[in-house]
Structures are given as structure tokens and as C-alpha cells.
Amino acid sequence: MRTPSYITRNALLVVAAWLLFNVYAAGRVMGADPQLPRTVARPAGAPAHLIIRRNPNLGFNVIARLWIDGRPAASIGYGHTFDGFLAPGRHVLAVLATPSPRWPVPWQLPLDVQSGQTYYFTAVGDASGNLILDGRFGFPRRVQ
């Protein structure tokens, strides 16, 4: 029986360490969705429902960071959806892909929210590398 050389053994150790690091990083990404309050403001009237899906084509390790009116609202990881409420009125939604965004300034969308409506968006990447909230295919859609 032949004993593996030092190079082979070192290569196996590097591969094992790389696999362990990837498992650790994947666990961090899956657990990156902080438990922040889902209600941004307490409205006087009925709140509007906001649903933001994350496109799985963004990749496993990309997290969509969501801000509402300049305040952090959610981190949407792979396979997750933001489901929250907004007070009626004008709001600014902003998203940024992390880690290592191509453009460090979040993409922003002004939104006039009406009481009792439901707004749907999908967080997707555009041709320039920005993460945007997509309104195609009937989104955002208001449901009575």
C-alpha cells in the first residue's frame, strides 16, 4: 500500500477546509434574514400590504437588502419573501444586493401607497448589475 505524498495530503486538507468554509458561509446566508418588525408605521386607516419576492436567479449567496423610507426593513435571502405592511401615503423603497454590490448606492422606487391595497414586487437583477424591484408581468399589482 502506497502512502499519499505530502502534496496530495495538503491538497485534500485545503479542499476539506474550503468545503467547511462554504458550509459555514451558506449557513450565515440562510440565517441572514433579521427578525425586524414587519410593520413600518402604525396608520390611522387600514394599512397597505407589501409583498416582495426574491428572484432565485440572483444566486444562492446574494441577499437583497430592503430599506423603507431610509430605514432597514429586511434582508431577503434565497427562497425568502418579505411580507409586511405600509401606512398609506408616499414611501421610498430601496434595494441593494449584498455582499459585494456592483453599485454601492441602493436602487430606489417612490411608491404612493393607498389604504387597504396589496403591492407585489420581485427583486431581480437588471442589465446594468443593479438589484431592482420589478414591476413587469402585472407587478406591482393592486388587489382589492
User: What is the span of the domain harbouring residue 113?
Assistant: 48-134
Q: What CATH number is associated with residue 82? A: 2.60.40
Domain-embedded: residue 106 = yes
Report residue 12's pLDDT band, with 50, 70 and 90 as the boundaries.
Answer: confident
Helices and strands: H and E segment counts in the chain? 1, 8
Domain-embedded: residue 65 = yes
Cell of 127: 442589465
Domain-embedded: residue 67 = yes
Domain count, the chain: 1
Contacts of 120 (CB under 8 A, 6+ apart): 51, 52, 53, 139, 140, 141
Cβ atoms < 10 Å from Cβ of 139:
15
Domain-embedded: residue 32 = no
Domain-embedded: residue 42 = no
Domain-embedded: residue 90 = yes
Domain-embedded: residue 30 = no
| DSSP letters spanning 24-63 | HHHHHHHT------SBS---SSPPEEEEEEE-GGG-TT-E
Domain-embedded: residue 31 = no
**pLDDT tens-digit series, residues 82-130:** 999 999 999 999 998 888 766 677 888 899 999 988 899 988 888 777 7
